[in-house]
Amino acid sequence: MVRVLLSDVAAERHGARIRAAVPQARLVPVAPEGPLPDTAGIEVAFLSRDLFVGGTRQRLNARFLRFVELLKAAPDLRWVQLFSAGTDMPLYQEMLARGLTLTNAAGASAPAVALTAVTGLLALARQLPRLAEAQRRRAWEPLYAPPEPRDIAGQAALVVGTGPIGQEIGRLCRALGLRATGVRRDPGAGIPPGFDAVAGFAALPDLLPRSEWLILACPLTEATRGLVDAQALALLPRGAHLVNVSRGGVVVEEALLEALRTGQLAGAFLDVFATEPLPPDSPFWGLPNVIVSPHSAAASDGLPERVAAIFADNLARWCRGEMLRNLVPRRG
């Protein structure tokens, strides 16, 4: 028998799937309030997205914190399955430092995040912010007046991050006629699916001047923090666009604002920010060439099931003593 600590919502939604994969699993649900279960002997926990809803990385909600405190007190806990692909939250790093095994949900959000990124690209390419602003004024202003939308076929998309999300973005970009180049830590590992070419981070100064679209789909690490700064933005062709579905910390926001205000960047689709929720007085809200998305790129009614499928498969592997999928490496 293996006991699994999880939210009451996850137990109700995914209990049948988990037990189908591991019949000997015994679920230990945690309600949002009331008595907490005894965690003695529990080695496995499933941290599902329903616990996180209503909070942000900087402003965790009460239910999430209640569950996390229970994890911290669990004396025999060994493995935690996370709902997200990103693992840069300090809390997760604390778990790793404690010696826990963490697995993420890489791949589960790729279809939705990639679709969001390319939707943002298309909205900027077809000048939808310009149409929305005219609609607010009830003004009939066809896009045939300069500057007319450029054909995207033949343009270059530089996708930073070549994991499941980046690969799906690359595939969709190529389907639209863009030339997709991926940027990854180890370019010698070969060209991942979805890309025409691949390069390392050291090649960015050569690639940026030839890229009309800079799409960020990378994790936030010491190597990517502040990667897109004033120098990087200045290297892009004037009138290029930025799409960010990674983390706000990958971009130096003051430099981004300046590039948008001066026209160095024609526009940006931003799903993530350094501070979330984005403060009401942030200049990003008022820029006509910016589409603000409230960190919702992964939103999809199919996401919880895809995450639960990863957990159920991993739980079966755990019980068989096999290597788990999506292991989170310890930093340093």
Q: What secondary structure, in 3-state letters, does 1-55 show?
A: CEEEEEEHHHHHHHHHHHHHHCCCEEEEEECCCCCCCCCCCCCEEECCHHHCCCC
Report the Cα 201 to chain-centroid distance in Å: 19
Angle at 30 between CA 29 and CA 31, to 5 degrees: 115
Which residues face 197 on adjacent strands?
181
276 catalytic? Reply is: yes
Asked if the model's pLDDT at residue 280 lies above 60, the reply is yes
Task: Say if residues 233 and 211 touch (Cβ distance below 8 Å).
Answer: no
Which strands make up the sheet holding 265-270, listed edge to edge? 197-199, 179-183, 156-160, 213-216, 240-244, 265-270, 290-292
Per-residue pLDDT reduced to its tens digit, 103-142:
999 999 999 999 999 999 999 999 999 999 999 999 999 9
295 catalytic? Reply is: yes
Q: From the candidates 43, 258, 276, 305, give the one annotated as an active-site residue.
A: 276
Domain with CATH 3.40.50.720 in the chain: 2-108+300-320, 110-292
| Identity at 259, one-letter amino acid code | A
* Residue 58 pLDDT: 86
Distance CA 324, CA 78 (A): 13
Distance CA 68, CA 70 (A): 5
Per-residue pLDDT reduced to its tens digit, 51-61:
999 999 889 99
Q: Confidence class of residue 149 from pLDDT cuts 50, 70 and 90?
A: very high
pLDDT (average), residues 14-18: 98
Asked if the model's pLDDT at residue 241 lies above 60, the reply is yes
**Nearest alpha carbon to residue 310 among 7, 21, 75, 70:** 21
Neighbours of 151 (CB within 10 A): 9
Neighbours of 55 (CB within 10 A): 16
* Residue 25 pLDDT: 97
Per-residue pLDDT reduced to its tens digit, 283-293:
999 999 999 99
Q: From the candidates 3, 130, 179, 295, give the one annotated as an active-site residue.
A: 295
Q: From the candidates 49, 241, 247, 253, give the one annotated as an active-site residue.
A: 247
Neighbours of 147 (CB within 10 A): 10
Correct CATH for 2-108+300-320 of 3.40.50.1980, 3.10.110.10, 3.20.20.70, 3.40.50.720: 3.40.50.720
Task: Say if residues 214 and 228 touch (Cβ distance below 8 Å).
Answer: yes
* Residue 164 pLDDT: 96
Report, at the CATH architecture level, how domain 110-292 is classified: 3-Layer(aba) Sandwich (3.40)
254 catalytic? Reply is: no
Asked if the model's pLDDT at residue 97 lies above 60, the reply is yes
Q: Confidence class of residue 332 from pLDDT cuts 50, 70 and 90?
A: low
